[in-house]
Chain A
């Protein structure tokens, strides 16, 4: 708690990198972490044990580290999408559904697209592309509704999330869709495991440190999205449409095209995140596949205040939080819901501080 109180005095030196846009998110995270620690104490778990379990689950082993990094990639991709669409003043809260449809498409192509024998990595590239397209279409629905009927994209992407998640449930429940052949009544409602050729290659080839191709891909996309936003005409158009769509249209910018492209791109990144989860880690599609990662990515995007390095930092944070949280539940009996509490606090604190940050930056 004291971390929050200490910050304002340090804020007084804006020229030396300690900008409030950086400090306040840090303070929010520190505040939320402090509340988290207090809650652990309230639950009655020795804080030292919980911290030990947390550290063990994040960087305690190469496996844990890799799992955290892979998670961070998923969050980052959704976060990039959020930031991109948000530049056009669009709030994409549909990451959860976009991950789900991405996972469905990747599974379908990996299992039934006859990809196993294809050369040049097409066996995993094609399912990935399918996921990207599925995600783009899912985001595109919200865009079309917005352009055609003026439907607020927040409500439509949220509803699409629920629909996507239940669609996935349907896919793994129905043998006519992606459920594995029912051999007995005990057959789990999940898909077959995808062929080895369709799995994303591990960077080290070592299952002890299973960081997959998604990591370099995410880093490349970080640069691409960053350059698009900062250096291209499209980036300026996104900003113009976001700040004043009427003036942008008068100046010859197609607002409808900009909105459709922005939301579709955000959806595509969400779909890609789903592909990484399925092809890189889980290998079978199960109910609850998206596991709230879409919301984590959204929070990472919010936390970043529009900056790509910010998304990466927040994604790493949440990747470690998730991994550590899971290990805390398994070994120290601290429910993972604690991590959700921490995320909620971060979002609320930042939402409340946004006005202050903006005022400060305008000075």
Chain B
């Protein structure tokens, strides 16, 4: 919990630093924010809680001047506030750390901080001194002359934060900053938030994790469907109410897995029968991947997954999971090691051969690898099996559309029709279509799913897990890669933890061992 010395008394009566009054933002026919009203006071950490798609990021972007609201008004320091763009917001003392970093990878920390500041000849030494001072004040140590590409994700985020703090902002907005961090790093980030607030500034922290709210929030506002549902002055006391407000339903009704992605760690996993057979389906033997620079990304990874078993791969992003999944998908040839499906050696085979062997792949980056956005739903849902609809080189589009319609119904993919452009589907429906394609491979015996629920709303998350469990109960071996530990704990049978490309340990997916797994994710051997 929060340390007493850092806790500051928020003067409730003080004039708000920024207040939003009935702010509305539309994109085409879609209303992302609807009459949102909100007060941000100096000295407080104000959390914005909401599901994916609730409008949290839009709200931040309106405050930061990226979007101009279509209705309502904002008041900042007692005067009307209508930022013409991010530059204007920055000039007025509002800074934001975005969900996705925007750092220049082949520039140094100092150069990234200096970008857009000052004119003429650069004074890198002076900037490095300023960085050192800020680092001491807020607990953000950084090597000013390191290249961004050489930094860990946590360090990169520190650079983003320092870039903001060096401008001495009055209002500091952080959009889902903890999604990519280790437990330790999350704790220190939250401490930074407290220190910034303690210096009399306002901090807006966007999150969907309840643990963080308990830890740091002075006040919480819940967004759902673009509306403010409720604001609480005592978040820890109101936590159950906040959860219900966020998802608009009863906590107990939630699918266990879906609930745990929200951070409701105390929800028991839904009972699942133990693995039916001890027949090895997927056998991975000493896979090692070194990148072009010779850095080892995946180190001697060895694992077997039995038929009907779900094995989770846990770890903070960037610790070798992507490389593992890419090798299994045939997108990357490993430096050494082998990988078998039953008796068949699939090492270094092409994606086509791996698909033919019966391995379904749900890629972590849906838009980059999983689908072709510019093509139709029908073409995407059969993208790897289009030759089944081909005779003498000619594609039978009628049959394709018919079969695609059948799959759409089975997997509850909602779209205008099989001919709808894939880009017109929502993220959840896109993911269901990708799952449908990979799970219905005729000879499927293994499924490798990476971050399959990322960016989906609760309903779609439940559907995705339903299909994965269903496949598992049919005797499919499932390897599930996720950076959400809670989700793995409730879905998987076993969990292996990756840290810097190596397996730190393996244990049963048991909620009681969460702390132990968290320690392994941070690099402590079992």
Contact = CB atoms under 8 A, between A and B. Distances in A.
Direct contact of A and B (CB under 8 A): yes
B23 to A, nearest CB: 27
24 contacts: A231-B395, A232-B393, A232-B394, A232-B395, A233-B386, A233-B387, A233-B390, A233-B394, A235-B395, A236-B379, A239-B372, A240-B372, A243-B372, A244-B373, A246-B331, A247-B368, A247-B369, A250-B370, A251-B355, A251-B384, A252-B350, A252-B355, A252-B356, A254-B352
B371 A247 contact: yes
Nearest to B389: A233
Contact of A247 (B352, B355, B372, B393): B372
B269 interface: no
A234 interface: yes
In this complex, the interface size class of chain B, counting residues with CB under 8 Å from chain A, is: 20 to 34
A171 B275 CA distance: 74
B455 interface: no
Interface string A250-266: 11111000000000000
A243 B374 contact: yes
A14 B522 CA distance: 58
A24 B501 CA distance: 54
B372 A244 contact: yes
Contacts of B361: 250
A249 interface: yes
A244 B374 contact: yes
A248 interface: yes
A22 B59 CA distance: 40
B363 A233 contact: no
Interface in A234-291: 234-236, 239-240, 243-244, 246-254
A254 B330 CA distance: 13
A246 B363 CA distance: 11
A240 B371 CA distance: 9
A333 B382 CA distance: 61
Given A252-B351, A252-B355, A247 B395 contact: no
A149 to B, nearest CB: 15
Nearest to A231: B394
A250 B374 CA distance: 16
Interface string B345-387: 0000011100110000101000011111111000100011011
B354 to A, nearest CB: 9
Nearest to B370: A247
Q: Kindly name the residue among A235, A249, A251 whose own CB sees the greatest number of chain B CB atoms within 10 A.
A: A251
Report whether over half of chain A's contact residues are helix, strand or loop; otherwise say mixed: helix
B383 A251 contact: yes
B363 A236 contact: no
A317 to B, nearest CB: 29
Contacts of B190: none
Interface in B119-141: none
Given A250-B351, A251-B383, 5 more contacts: A235-B395, A243-B373, A244-B374, A247-B370, A247-B383
A95 B274 CA distance: 64
Nearest to B379: A236
A253 B375 CA distance: 15
B329 interface: yes
A250 B380 CA distance: 12
B36 to A, nearest CB: 29
Contacts of B370: 247, 250
Contacts of A251: 351, 355, 383-384
A6 B350 CA distance: 54
A250 B368 CA distance: 10
A246 B371 CA distance: 9
Contacts of B373: 243-244
Contacts of A231: 394-395
A246 B368 CA distance: 7
Nearest to A245: B372
A243 B368 CA distance: 10
B395 A233 contact: yes
A233 B393 CA distance: 6
A248 B368 CA distance: 10
A240 B383 contact: yes
Nearest to A233: B390
A200 B390 CA distance: 37
A249 B375 contact: no
B52 to A, nearest CB: 23
A235 B393 CA distance: 10
A246 B369 contact: yes
B382 to A, nearest CB: 9
A259 to B, nearest CB: 16
A248 B390 CA distance: 17
A196 B387 CA distance: 47
Interface in A24-70: none
Nearest to B330: A250
Contact of B384 (A234, A239, A244, A252): A252
